Structures are given as structure tokens and as C-alpha cells.
């Protein structure tokens, strides 16, 4: 696990975009794992800028969303399919046919979750998975007590997550209780994982995920088992880390040949 503490969202977005750009240049048909929430938005803005300004090419790229609400009407502005389209994919030249998400309106939920796992596998697996983290330590919508080996499935949201996400909806009552999410086992299969956390409200989750035990009470701690996980945090999100000085020292003295 590499923990990188930066001064704010802009340098974090720029570093994450550098990794995605480098991936696309060496593998134009790369499979990107797409997250929602506020944390990845600066990365999507930076990628849209690089597409516009430098011609960064997404024409062969593929995308798989992490998660989705269950029960929102098709086209609902807060469905993650819509959020990803609005915030990212329609701003670059990725083909809409190459962007996939769990189907929160499926009649056969278990069957559609299995099909989603198959689609990720058939695409060759996720090359780079972007992640945020919830204030309760969730990644995707894998709430505490999720199986560390879980695959894409339905989950029930914890009230804290519904309250956190109510800001995107008109009221708390409009936030669905059920969601589909890639499992923790699914996320662990991605070749590279980049988790972004900013702000003091994430300090506890960041500490638990980086320095706590690997435990289902903090689902993001499963990333300690991932061979290539990069944790990008600002000063506020890093404020509870015991080994913050060590992470700073390691990054400042990183061998120049080592990329993210």
C-alpha cells in the first residue's frame, strides 16, 4: 500500500490522472473502474481537460461502474449510470457502448449481478479502479460487515451512508435503501486500485483502512491485501495517521523509476 499525502484535491486529481493517462498510452483499450461520490470528480474534470487540450484518447477504453442504486427510475439524475455519464464519459471520447454499470432495475437481481461479473471478466478485468471511501469505511457500497471475498450483489445501506448521500437527493426519504455493488473480492481483482479521500470527515476511515486491522468493520481495510493499492489523501484526511511522516518521507524519496 502506498500512501501519498498531498496538499489538496488538485494535486491529487493530477496524480490520479497521470496514472490513467500513462495506462491509456501503454494500453489504449484499458478497462477503467469508475467510482461516483464527490471524491473522483476532480479526476474526471482533469481527464476531460486533458482530452480537450491534449487529445487524450479514450476511443478504445472500456469502463465499469462500481455500484448503483436499486429502484431509481431509468434516467434518474442521481442514478450512478447518469452521474458517470454526466461527470465523465460524455466529456471524453469513450464509446457509450463500452461503459457498463450494474443494472439497478433488473428483474432478476442475482442473475444480473452474475452477468456483471462475467462482463468484467470477459473484458479482461479492470486495469485501474478509482475508489472513494465512505465515512464508515465502505468502498463501492460494501458496507461494514461485508464479506471480504464478496462479489457483485445487492446490499442494504447503513443509515449513515443514506444521510451522507442525501445531499445529492431532495431529501433523505428519496435515498434508496438498496444498492448493487461490486464486491470486495471483485475490487481486489483490479490490477491497480487508487483510493482518494479528502477532508477531515474521512480521517477516521483513512486511519482504519491504512493502519487498522484487516476487518469487515472497515471494508476498505481489505485493500491492505491488494498488491498495488495507492491511497491519495489530503492533509485533513491524513490527520489521524500515525505514520504520516513515514509516508511523506517515502514519497519524497521515491526512486524516480518507480511509477504510481
Closest CA to 62 of 88, 92, 97: 97
- Of the pair 3, 130, the CB lying nearest ligand GLP is at 130
Nearest distance from C-beta of residue 36 to ligand GLP, angstroms = 5
- Helix, strand, coil: what percent of the chain each, to 5? 40, 20, 40
Nearest-angstrom CA–CA distance, 191 and 125: 8
List, edge to edge, every strand of the sheet that includes 128-131.
2-6, 229-234, 192-197, 128-131, 31-34, 62-65, 99-100
Residue 161 touching ligand GLP (CB under 6 A) = yes
Residue 66 touching ligand GLP (CB under 6 A) = yes
Q: Which of 33, 37, 102, 219 binds ligand GLP (CB under 6 A)?
A: 37
How far are the Cα atoms of 33, 146, 228, 243 from residue 139, in angstroms, in the given order?
12, 10, 16, 23
Nearest distance from C-beta of residue 126 to ligand GLP, angstroms = 14
Q: Which of 46, 67, 117, 189 binds ligand GLP (CB under 6 A)?
A: 67
Residue 186 touching ligand GLP (CB under 6 A) = no
- Catalytic residues, which ones? 67, 136, 138, 143
Nearest distance from C-beta of residue 211 to ligand GLP, angstroms = 19
Q: What is the CA radius of gyration of the chain?
A: 17
Whether the Cβ atoms of residue 61 and residue 97 lie closer than 8 Å to each other:
no
Nearest distance from C-beta of residue 166 to ligand GLP, angstroms = 11
- Of the pair 60, 154, the CB lying nearest ligand GLP is at 154
State the cell numbers at 77.
Answer: 439524475
- Of the pair 56, 116, the CB lying nearest ligand GLP is at 116
Nearest-angstrom CA–CA distance, 15 and 234: 12
Residue 44 touching ligand GLP (CB under 6 A) = no
Residue 133 touching ligand GLP (CB under 6 A) = yes
Residue 141 touching ligand GLP (CB under 6 A) = yes
Beta bridge partners of 180: 68, 154
Residue 165 touching ligand GLP (CB under 6 A) = yes
Q: Which stretch binds ligand GLP (CB under 6 A): 9-17, 22-30, 31-39, 122-130?
A: 31-39
- Of the pair 37, 104, the CB lying nearest ligand GLP is at 37
Phi–psi pair at 242, nearest 5 degrees: -70, -35
CB atoms under 10 Å from CB of 25, counted, come to 11
Cell 483499450, located at residue? 29
Residue 63 touching ligand GLP (CB under 6 A) = no
Residue 72 touching ligand GLP (CB under 6 A) = no
Amino acid at each position: 500500500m502506498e500512501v501519498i499525502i498531498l496538499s489538496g484535491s488538485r494535486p491529487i486529481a493530477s496524480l490520479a490522472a497521470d496514472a490513467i493517462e500513462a495506462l491509456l498510452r501503454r494500453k489504449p483499450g484499458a478497462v477503467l473502474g469508475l467510482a461516483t461520490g464527490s471524491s473522483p470528480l476532480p479526476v474526471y474534470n482533469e481527464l476531460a481537460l486533458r482530452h480537450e487540450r491534449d487529445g487524450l484518447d479514450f476511443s478504445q477504453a472500456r469502463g465499469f461502474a462500481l455500484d448503483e442504486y436499486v429502484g431509481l427510475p431509468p434516467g434518474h439524475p442521481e442514478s450512478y449510470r447518469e452521474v458517470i455519464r454526466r461527470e465523465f464519459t460524455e466529456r471524453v471520447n469513450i464509446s457509450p457502448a463500452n461503459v457498463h454499470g450494474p443494472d439497478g432495475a433488473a428483474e432478476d437481481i442475482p442473475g444480473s449481478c452474475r452477468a456483471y461479473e462475467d462482463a468484467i471478466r470477459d473484458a479482461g478485468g479492470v486495469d485501474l479502479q478509482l475508489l472513494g471511501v465512505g465515512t464508515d469505511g465502505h468502498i463501492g457500497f460494501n458496507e461494514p460487515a461485508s464479506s471480504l471475498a464478496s462479489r457483485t450483489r445487492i446490499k442494504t445501506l447503513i443509515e449513515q451512508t443514506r444521510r451522507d448521500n442525501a445531499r445529492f437527493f431532495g431529501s433523505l426519504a428519496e435515498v434508496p435503501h438498496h444498492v448493487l455493488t461490486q464486491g470486495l473480492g471483485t475490487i481486489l481483482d483490479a490490477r491497480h486500485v487508487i483510493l482518494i479521500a479528502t477532508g477531515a470527515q474521512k480521517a477516521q476511515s483513512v486511519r482504519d483502512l491504512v493502519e487498522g486491522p484487516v476487518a469487515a468493520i472497515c471494508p476498505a481495510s481489505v485493500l491492505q491485501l491488494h498488491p498495488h493499492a495507492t491511497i491519495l489523501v489530503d492533509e485533513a484526511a491524513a490527520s489521524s495517521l500515525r505514520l504520516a511522516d513515514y509516508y511523506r518521507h517515502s514519497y519524497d524519496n521515491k526512486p524516480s523509476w518507480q511509477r504510481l
